[in-house]
C-alpha cells in the first residue's frame, strides 16, 4: 500500500519515530554492525521500503541507493538479491533511475543477470533493467551477449523468467532480434 504523508503522521503519532528517522537508524545500523545476518536483514528491510514513492526522497537523502549499488559487489548471494530488489523497487522514479544509470547501475545489475544468478535475483534484475531502459541506456543494456541470454530465457521452464524475457523481447528488441528469438523458440519447442 502506498502511503500519504497525512497517513504516516496519523499512524506514527505525535511522539513516534518518523519514517526518515527510522530509515536513518537502519542505515546507521547497517554501517555499524559486524553481523552478516544483520546486514542482510537490514538490506531486505530497506529494499521493502523502496516500494513506496514517499520514501524516494529519503532514499536519496540517506544515500540508500549508493548502499544498494555498493552491495551489488558483495560476495554474498543474498546481499546481492536484496540490493537488486531494492533498486528494482525504486528505479521507476526518474531521479532514482537517473542516479542508478549515472553510477554504473546498469552494468552492475546486468553482471548479475549474466553470471547465473539465483532465480529471484535474475527476476529482479531483468525487471530492473526494463525499468532502466532509456534512449541513452538502451545500447548499454541490449548488448549482443545480453540479447542472446534474453532469448535463451524466453524458453526458461520458470514461468516468471520466461514471461519477463518475452516481455523484454516484445518491448525492447528490434525486428531482427525478435525473428531470432521466434526461430529459437520454435527449435526449442520441437
168-184 confidence digits (pLDDT tens)? 999 998 766 555 555 55
Contact 76, 40 (CB under 8 A): yes
Is the Cβ–Cβ distance between 121 and 89 less than 8 Å? no
Q: 7: how many CB neighbours lie within 10 A of its CB?
A: 12
* Domains of the chain (ranges, CATH numbers): 5-137 (1.25.10.10), 143-189 (no CATH)
Q: pTM, whole model, 2 decimals?
A: 0.85
Mean pLDDT of 35-48: 98
**Which pLDDT value is given to residue 115?**
83
pLDDT value at 7 more than 70: no
Amino acid at each position: 500500500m502506498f502511503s500519504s504523508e497525512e497517513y504516516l503522521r496519523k499512524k506514527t503519532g505525535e511522539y513516534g519515530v518518523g519514517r526518515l528517522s527510522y530509515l536513518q537508524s537502519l542505515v546507521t545500523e547497517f554501517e555499524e554492525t559486524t553481523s552478516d545476518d544483520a546486514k542482510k536483514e537490514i538490506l531486505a528491510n530497506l529494499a521493502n521500503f523502496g516500494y513506496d514513492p514517499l520514501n524516494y526522497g529519503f532514499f536519496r537523502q540517506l544515500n540508500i541507493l549508493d548502499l544498494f549499488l555498493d552491495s551489488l559487489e558483495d560476495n554474498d548471494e543474498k546481499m546481492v538479491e536484496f540490493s537488486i530488489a531494492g533498486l528494482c523497487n525504486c528505479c521507476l522514479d526518474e531521479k532514482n533511475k537517473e542516479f542508478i544509470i549515472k553510477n554504473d547501475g546498469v552494468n552492475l545489475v546486468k553482471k548479475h543477470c549474466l553470471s547465473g544468478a539465483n532465480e529471484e535475483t535474475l527476476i529482479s534484475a531483468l525487471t530492473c533493467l526494463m525499468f532502466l531502459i532509456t534512449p541513452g541506456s538502451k545500447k548499454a543494456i541490449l548488448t549482443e551477449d545480453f540479447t542472446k541470454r534474453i532469448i535463451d530465457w524466453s524458453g526458461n521452464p520458470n514461468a516468471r523468467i520466461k514471461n519477463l524475457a518475452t516481455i523484454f523481447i516484445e518491448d525492447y528488441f528490434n525486428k531482427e532480434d525478435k525473428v531470432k528469438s521466434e526461430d529459437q523458440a520454435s527449435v526449442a519447442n520441437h
